[in-house]
Amino acid sequence: MKGRRIILILILIVTLAVVSLSLIIRGKERSVSFSLKGGEEKADVMVRRVHYVRSEGSRKVWELQAALLSHYQREGRTKAKDLRMTLWTEDGRVITVEGKEGWIEGKEGKYVQLQGDVLITTSDGYRVRTDSLRYDGRRKLVWTSSPVELSREGMVLKGIGLRVAIEEKTFQVLGQVSATIREGGV
């Protein structure tokens, strides 16, 4: 049951990343300032201080904040710096993912990568820490080869590498696994 909850959280986070960044690429509503064809990165469009909220009726569905988005038209890639995404689930939980940098490839967001102090937190107390996290939409996989730490009050699971098969609803910590469970935890 706990494993399925973690898988669902990771699925929601990846879905949030794909949807939010693809909507930004397509130019939906947002509160930003623009810089065209400028800057060191030679991006086609640079969007600073992004704050994008998606709602359904009066309910917030998700929110994206980034210090900078840089879109590269020819490569079909968008880069995000200091990214923070928050998702409100229908059952009332809140999931937040943060990273120093993120990439999305293609208009449909078939490949997403987050790196640099990636932190996922949930309102029910779960935390996932890693240096990088990737999503392949064609294969429906989330993975990292970096060290990963999954924790909740009274429990810490550490290892090297993580693989989440979305359609199979399974996750694996790939190596050097250690778990600490304190009395009353989990």
Q: Which residue has the tokens 């820490």?
A: 129
What pTM was estimated for this model as a whole? Answer: 0.70
pLDDT digit string, tens, across residues 46-79: 889 988 888 888 888 888 888 998 888 888 888 8
User: Which two structure tokens, joined as six digits, stand for 123?
Assistant: 């309102």
- CB-based contact 9:3 (threshold 8 Å): no
pLDDT digit string, tens, across residues 107-129: 655 777 899 999 988 888 889 89
pLDDT for the residue 100: 95
Pick the CATH number of 2-138 from 2.60.450, 2.60.40, 3.30.2320, 3.30.70: 2.60.450
Q: How many CB atoms lie within 10 A of CB 169?
A: 12
DSSP one-letter string for 9-39: HHHHHHHHHHHHHHHHHTT-S-EEEEEES-T
Q: Which of 14-23, 32-41, 81-90, 157-166 has the lowest mean pLDDT?
A: 32-41
pLDDT digit string, tens, across residues 133-156: 888 878 878 889 999 999 988 999
Nearest to 72 by CA among 36, 107, 44, 34: 44
Query: Residue 9 above 60 pLDDT?
Result: no
